[in-house]
Chain A
């Protein structure tokens, strides 16, 4: 029983971490960043290459790959999305194509001596390699780091949007774009910043979560689907909704895992999404604004 609670919390925080970047970008700039999963995987591979090919110090590798992720996020906006804003179809197709270029590019073989990241050989080191005992449940330290980092990140983001100038501007754009622009907030610049932060958050999630398993390009699609599932269930662009949804999904998956076996996880995921869509199309905590768009 305690096992369910402990692993349920860990799983929920993993979901929240995955969805955080996506929901931030959508909340601020109404842009669905379908390159989210690709950036997640890319950061994993970059960090792996920095450590194993260039023999960099781990924290330095982390810093470098996060910086690259943020720059790439900004580039996605500057090169592609800036011309497509306001056309939802094109936004999705454009960002998804950009993500596919990254994901499939990582698997390219034989161009310029690049071997391509194929197969289950890429594992990131965990931050602390140990196992501890919590409430009588044995758990490895990396999972605890994930929970701690998840809580810290949410707190940090909350403080950032409350107490810094850029954070307040991001919040202003999210609440009322027209009014914010009238007060001198540059909408394009804020969208670019939100994409950069969102991508860095995706990368951070990757660095925390990937040590639990292998880094593979297929991860990217799965992560994108999870992020989308959390955002849809929670109501797009709603922070509290996203966190509630990640707990709902995290526990639903652990419970199904515990009672029916690991194979049923995805069945439960689909079931939850469809049930929530039937009974509450705006998501758990979607606001009136979302309802209007979705009826």
Chain B
């Protein structure tokens, strides 16, 4: 595959060619030498190894940040899946977080169940609730869906305050914590990796094909006798499962839940991470979240400045580098480029 892009100068253009090793690895010969095998497994191993080693390398404060980074990575993953593979731009991911968090918190608070029971139950229940709430909006497309999904978490907060249910503005405190800091980190990072590879698999299966078809041309899918709303609901369920898990996890991590689970942060930072990491790559958003969360944590001392900074990063990437980090890195890994006289 040869890709050619126009350069800025008139007389030259940039030519991109696949690296020899990449071409060799595309066939069975990829497995014949150590060099090729290393080339193939390097990116995956680097990611898994890096993620699993990180908790051992940092001190206890940053270990806590790592937990939150894992949460944002999961949310970014679910945003990327919905936006790039199903065509539902969901600006209300915070609702998934809130639904899962509240279910887990209420089960723990009123029935006294342990986190190991509440988290899985909350993930599934939260996902079901989110799917039911989003169901009326699934008939909408593009901007319309984005707008309605944006309003859902904000209005939910209003309702919780208005009716003074689930602890109202105070929230519910003194929830059971997870056993120890190592468990905290490895459970979220492990689930993040598991979901990452599961999603990569899912989008190339048959059902993933239907999802992508819904994004590209839903009328054609409809004409094939497939119910698009059903598939959109399935996709929302998958994304909400991830989101609700993070919510349940967060409420047990902090031992506290409140309306801040519906906060804009949970909708915006994952989007920034996705745009930065490379939309549509699934790995990119995870990387983006692992970069952005520590960055925003380092800026915590500046108060609102961190929101401003990650919005600036967001605009910078979306305007000047819309392909994102991951696509850029993949290109560099697989191709070399040189200037060519025209």
Q: Which residues of A contact B (CB under 8 A)?
A: 32, 79-80, 83-84, 88-94, 96-98, 100-101, 104-105, 107-109, 111, 116, 221, 225, 228-229, 231-232, 236, 263-267, 269-270, 273-274, 277-278, 281, 293-295
Contacts and interface: CB of A to CB of B under 8 A. Distances in A.
For the complex of A and B, the 10 pairs showing the least CB-CB separation, nearest first, are A266-B158, A263-B162, A104-B307, A97-B311, A104-B304, A97-B314, A107-B304, A88-B142, A270-B155, A101-B311
Contact of B304 (A92, A109, A293): A109
Contacts of A229: 151
A265 B272 CA distance: 32
B319 A80 contact: yes
Contacts of A269: 155, 158
A254 to B, nearest CB: 16
B89 interface: yes
Contact of A111 (B151, B161, B163, B305): B305
B234 interface: no
Interface string B312-331: 10110011001000000000
B144 A293 contact: yes
Nearest to A275: B136
A93 B275 contact: yes
Contacts of A91: 143
B147 A32 contact: yes
A236 B91 contact: no
Given A277-B139, A278-B136, 7 more contacts: A80-B319, A83-B319, A89-B83, A100-B307, A225-B155, A266-B158, A269-B158
Nearest to B314: A97
A266 B154 CA distance: 10
Given A90-B322, A108-B303, A32 B143 contact: yes
A90 B318 contact: yes
B317 to A, nearest CB: 10
B271 interface: yes
22 contacts: A32-B143, A32-B146, A79-B319, A84-B318, A88-B143, A91-B143, A93-B271, A94-B319, A97-B318, A98-B315, A100-B307, A100-B308, A104-B304, A111-B305, A225-B150, A225-B155, A228-B148, A232-B148, A236-B143, A267-B158, A277-B139, A281-B139
B141 interface: yes
A190 B10 CA distance: 32
A140 to B, nearest CB: 26
A79 B159 CA distance: 37
A83 B158 CA distance: 35
Nearest to A221: B154
Given A83-B319, A100-B307, A93 B314 contact: yes
Nearest to A295: B139
B139 A97 contact: no
Contacts of B322: 90
A67 B147 CA distance: 28
Given A83-B319, A108-B308, A225-B154, A294 B162 contact: no
Contacts of B163: 263, 267
For the residues of B in contact with A, the DSSP-based class is helix
Interface string B169-208: 0000000000000000000000000000000000000000
Interface string B112-125: 00000000000000
Contacts of A104: 304-305, 307-308, 311
B156 to A, nearest CB: 8
A97 B315 contact: yes
B305 A108 contact: yes
Contacts of B143: 32, 88, 91-92, 236
Interface in B294-314: 303-305, 307-308, 311-312, 314
A266 B137 contact: no
Contacts of A80: 315, 318-319
Contacts of A228: 147-148, 150-151
A125 to B, nearest CB: 27
B130 to A, nearest CB: 14
A294 B140 contact: yes
Given A94-B315, A266-B155, A294 B307 contact: no
A265 B162 contact: yes
Contacts of B136: 274, 277-278
B304 A105 contact: yes
Nearest to A270: B155
A92 B88 CA distance: 13
Contact of B146 (A83, A92, A94, A266): A92
B312 to A, nearest CB: 7
Contacts of A89: 83, 89, 146
B268 interface: yes
Contacts of B311: 97-98, 100-101, 104
Given A101-B311, A105-B304, A266-B158, A93 B318 contact: yes
Nearest to B87: A89
Nearest to B156: A270
B224 to A, nearest CB: 16
Contacts of A97: 268, 272, 311-312, 314-315, 318
Nearest to A99: B311
A232 B147 CA distance: 8
Contacts of B315: 80, 94, 97-98, 101
Nearest to A111: B305
A264 B146 contact: no
A278 B140 CA distance: 10
A236 B305 contact: no
Nearest to A278: B136
A236 B319 contact: no
